[in-house]
């Protein structure tokens, strides 16, 4: 039986190994929270609509490209207590002959914790 696109992308995500991010000078880890965020809305905890799931999962092959090539990261403090800090990194990729600015979000939940992947999106809609 053939795997669906979603199952293939889930397998791809689960195969990701930590990667060094030059912009942050730290390793970025991949855990179940990142995959969950791609598939479910964080506020409602309901599954994202099928087109949103497909869109986000289609960007998985670009995560390592962005993390390894981005030269700058933008920090955002989400909360002070407990401290939650996120960084946005972006890097242009070419797909279907069109340049797209792919943005990756990483997060640190604790002051001394590891950085881990949270989300991926395009700065503007593009066809993946």
What is the domain extent for residue 96? 5-122
Residue 47 resides in a domain? yes
Instruction: Note down pLDDT in tens along the chain; length 128 residues.
Output: 678 999 999 999 999 999 999 999 999 999 999 999 999 988 788 999 999 999 999 999 999 999 999 999 988 877 777 778 889 999 988 876 777 888 888 988 777 789 999 999 887 666 55
Is residue 21 in some structural domain? Answer: yes
| Residue pointed to by tokens 């996120």 | 86
Q: What is the rounded distance in angstroms from the CA atom of residue 91 to the CA atom of residue 99?
A: 10
The reply to whether 79 falls in a domain is yes
pTM of the entire predicted model: 0.85
Domain-embedded: residue 43: yes
Q: How many CB atoms lie within 10 A of CB 98?
A: 11
Number of domains forming the structure of the chain? 1
pLDDT score for 127: 59
Instruction: Confirm if 92 and 100 have CB atoms less than 8 A apart.
Output: yes
Q: Is residue 60 part of a domain?
A: yes
Asked if the structure places residue 115 within a domain, the reply is yes
| pLDDT at site 44 | 84
What confidence score (pLDDT) does residue 13 get? 97
Q: Is residue 13 part of a domain?
A: yes
Residue 127 placed within a domain: no
Q: What pLDDT sits at residue 128? A: 55
Q: Would you state the pLDDT for residue 45? A: 84
């Amino acid at each position: 039986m053939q795997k669906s696109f979603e199952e293939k992308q889930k397998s791809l995500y689960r195969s990701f190994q930590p990667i060094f991010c030059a912009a942050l000078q730290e390793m970025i880890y991949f855990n179940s929270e990142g995959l969950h965020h791609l598939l479910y809305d964080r506020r409602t905890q309901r599954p994202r609509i099928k087109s949103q799931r497909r869109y986000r999962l289609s960007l998985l092959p670009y995560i390592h490209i962005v993390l390894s090539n981005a030269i700058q990261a933008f920090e955002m403090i989400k909360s002070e207590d407990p401290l939650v800090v996120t960084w946005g990194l972006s890097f242009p990729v070419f797909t279907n002959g069109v340049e797209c600015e792919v943005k990756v979000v990483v997060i640190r939940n604790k002051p001394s914790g590891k950085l881990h992947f949270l989300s991926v999106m395009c700065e503007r809609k593009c066809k993946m």
